[in-house]
Chains A and B, each alone.
Chain A
Amino acid sequence: MDISTKQTDAPPPAPQPALTERKRDARGASRPGDRIFLGLSRGSGILLLVIMAAIAVFLTYRASLAISKDHGNFLTTFEWNTNLTPPVFGIAVLAFGTVVSSIVAMAIAVPVAVAIALFLTHYAPRRLSGPIAYVIDLLAAVPSIVYGLWGALVLVPHMQGLYGWLDDYLGWTGLFSWDGGAPRAMLTVGILLAIMILPIITNVSREVFRQVPRMHEEAALALGATRWEVVRMSVLPFGRSGVISASMLGLGRALGETMAVATVLSPSYDIQASLLDPGGGTFAQNIASKFGEATDQGRDALIASGLVLFVITLLVNGAARAIIARRKEYSGANA
């Protein structure tokens, strides 16, 4: 609200020597210096657009080369054998694994992140919440490969007990049955991804909760609401769209995360109902794992799977932006 208006009102043009020049000058382009500077900055903007277009075009081009040679069905084949002649590969398993790991990650991360954001804005002692928020900011900067290393060497051994326990008590659901293999299945990946996207979802949600107008909270308080009722009546409804878009941003990260998944998951080109048995890979993990042994033909196939990932993340991020944009209008109307 405060800043967006500034963008539209341009600074007044510089004093003009002659009337005829004024038209061009209003666009800041009559002097050589101005012209060069505008050209440079506009050129940079255009370059960004060109890069985006080039990404789409070149990925599509290489992908089409690969798919035309594919003797499997690109969408439904389970295998990934790109070094065969003819190659047989498909993204069914990858799509499955990517979706499942992201769902697990979101199911864990979103409630916890929202709770932490509430903790920081409404529950924590004031002196504590500042430093904690700062630490969470820093944790968002930890490189994903470090999460991957930690996940593989620390988290995985610790999952053994949880896997056994889940198998004992919830194995009958099918979702949590375990064949006793290394605990490097989708559940572990999901948990690790959840830990990784926790900081970003927390940060965005915290900002949104902090913007809840004081008067809405006081309205609830003055009616005799408990703290939890204040949160439910005024904080959560106000922050809902913000939390959704924060979750989408987190989802975008989880979908595209490569190294952490590549270190932790033991992939299998197979689909399992259980989250504890090896089943599925993810797009990004598959690219990282298969790249070393891939020939040029195999690389094209990997590019094809990357194109699918690209499109999915575009859709998710687009949705997140759309929600944020709608929220701006909404809160503006109510201000």
Chain B
Amino acid sequence: MSTAAVTDKRPSTLRGASLPKWSPWAIAAGSVAVAAGLGLVAGLHSKVQWGLIAALLFVAGTYGIAARVEGRRQAKDRVATSLVWVAFLLAVVPLVSLVWTTVARGVKVLDVYFLTHSMGIVADSEPGGGIYHAIIGSLEQVGLATAIGAPIGVLTAIYLVEYGRGRLAQAVTFFVDVMTGIPSIVAGLFILSLMLIFHMQPFGFAGSLALAILMMPVVVRSTEEMLKLVPNELREASLALGVPKWRTILKVVLPTSIGGITTGIMLAVARITGETAPVLLLVFGNPFINNNPFEGAQASLPLYIFQQYSAGNDAAFDRAWAASLTLIAFVMILNLVARGIARWKAPKTGR
């Protein structure tokens, strides 16, 4: 094998010298060893520092060695490849840590007692208590929000796809986009400003209204996508039979796309279930069980997590983790079921 470096000018041969396949591993092992040595000699405590030195050595080493043997272009290619891998690994670490910690620390106090009792007679600093009241609150608030947000969202999407032309439709499309970007706390402040005007105290339904505002644009977008997938031939076939338009939409268009629409709504529900900020402003939190969303402060799962965290002691932290695990489990199950429905219903929606 020729060892001459490929020059930048015309390579006279196709046989560019190339590093063997194991070379990245060798360079990696070498840089880790050197970094460990440097770290020991210089007395650096943090393993993070060792890791950083090793990563720098790896990139520099890859470039140097590859540039020497394979040429500058190949060296750049190798560095880009290793950087892309490093970025990926870098991002995986916190995300894995997040999931792992939540599960590991969440299972500590998560049991049937925890799910079926409230914090009514437990001080935040003591162990014990549970999230029953928060689950009730979350379910009621999210349920009401969905009851308001989902139909409005679906109807708006129907308007945009089936009827929408002209200025009004354009404006709606634009503002749905804009609405998607509203921070949840701003939606909360909006309802709060109404409550200030009418001198109202916090209650569950106020939170539902803010959550509904956050939910609507998400539902509109996903439903719109689904309705657009329904082939026009289907609509025309129905209309040509003399079926009025509204019945065509109800009996032909919606059933065809119902799977996708359900998926979209469930994803939106998953999203608003985790919202904390508007609930904090409007529902306020309550250690006792309050089954009435229309009167008095209520609890909610995300808010419960925040308040337990704010209590700042180990017993409260344990409860916060357990509640987080419950919340994540709920959101993930919704997500998985939603995707399952999307996959299961997919063949019906088009092509």
Contacts and interface: CB of A to CB of B under 8 A. Distances in A.
Contact of A45 (B168, B235, B267): B168
B149 to A, nearest CB: 11
B159 A45 contact: yes
Interface stretch (B57-65, B123-131, B327-335): B327-335
Contacts of B280: 288, 291
A185 to B, nearest CB: 18
A296 B196 contact: yes
Interface stretch (B19-27, B29-37, B110-118, B184-192): B184-192
A229 B309 contact: no
A62 B335 CA distance: 38
B235 to A, nearest CB: 4
Contacts of B183: 252, 255-258, 284, 309-310, 313
Nearest 6 pairs between A and B by C-beta? Answer: A256-B183, A143-B274, A115-B87, A317-B181, A37-B246, A41-B159
B142 to A, nearest CB: 12
Interface residues of A, number: 102
B147 interface: no
A149 B246 contact: no
12 contacts: A11-B236, A28-B163, A42-B163, A45-B160, A48-B172, A61-B193, A150-B101, A195-B98, A284-B277, A287-B281, A299-B196, A314-B178
Contact of A154 (B97, B225, B277): B97
Majority secondary structure of chain A interface residues (helix, strand, loop or mixed): helix
B328 to A, nearest CB: 6
Contacts of A54: 190
A229 B159 CA distance: 46
A45 B169 CA distance: 8
A15 B240 CA distance: 7
B275 A143 contact: yes
Contact of A116 (B88, B155, B160, B328): B88
B321 interface: yes
Contacts of B49: 161, 165
Contact of A300 (B81, B168, B196, B274): B196
Given A256-B183, A306-B185, A119 B85 contact: yes
Interface string A25-61: 0011001011011101111111111011011001101
Given A58-B193, A229-B73, A313-B186, A141 B81 contact: no
A162 B48 contact: yes
A155 B93 CA distance: 11
A120 B98 CA distance: 21
A287 B156 CA distance: 32
B182 interface: yes
B290 interface: no
A178 to B, nearest CB: 14
Given A37-B249, A149-B305, A11 B239 contact: yes
Interface in B195-220: 196-197, 213, 216-217, 220
Given A288-B280, A317-B178, A321-B177, A48 B331 contact: no
A332 interface: no
A287 B190 CA distance: 13
Contacts of B190: 54-55, 58-59
B161 interface: yes
Contacts of B299: none
B229 to A, nearest CB: 8
B193 to A, nearest CB: 4
A226 B171 contact: no
Interface string A248-259: 010010011111
Contacts of A58: 190, 193-194, 197
B185 A284 contact: yes
A14 interface: yes
A227 interface: yes
B185 A48 contact: no
A144 B98 CA distance: 12
A12 B238 CA distance: 11
A228 B95 CA distance: 27
Contacts of B184: 256, 258
A42 B172 CA distance: 10
Interface in B62-102: 73-74, 76-77, 80-81, 83-85, 87-88, 90-91, 94-95, 97-98, 101-102
Interface in A304-326: 306-307, 309-310, 313-314, 316-318, 320-321
A7 interface: yes
A103 interface: no
Contacts of A47: 152, 156
Given A11-B236, A249-B181, A303-B196, 15 more contacts: A3-B225, A11-B232, A36-B246, A37-B249, A42-B163, A43-B155, A112-B91, A123-B84, A141-B332, A149-B305, A149-B320, A231-B80, A259-B276, A299-B192, A321-B177
A256 B185 contact: yes
Interface string B247-278: 11110000000000000000100110111110
A142 B331 contact: yes
Contact of B244 (A34, A123, A226, A291): A34
A198 interface: yes
B46 interface: yes
B232 A42 contact: no
B156 A41 contact: yes
A139 interface: yes
Contacts of A321: 174, 177-178
A150 B216 CA distance: 29
A166 to B, nearest CB: 11
Contacts of A41: 155-156, 158-159, 162-163
Contacts of B90: 112
A173 interface: no
A59 B193 contact: yes
Interface in A262-290: 262-263, 284, 287-288
A161 B335 CA distance: 37
B164 interface: yes
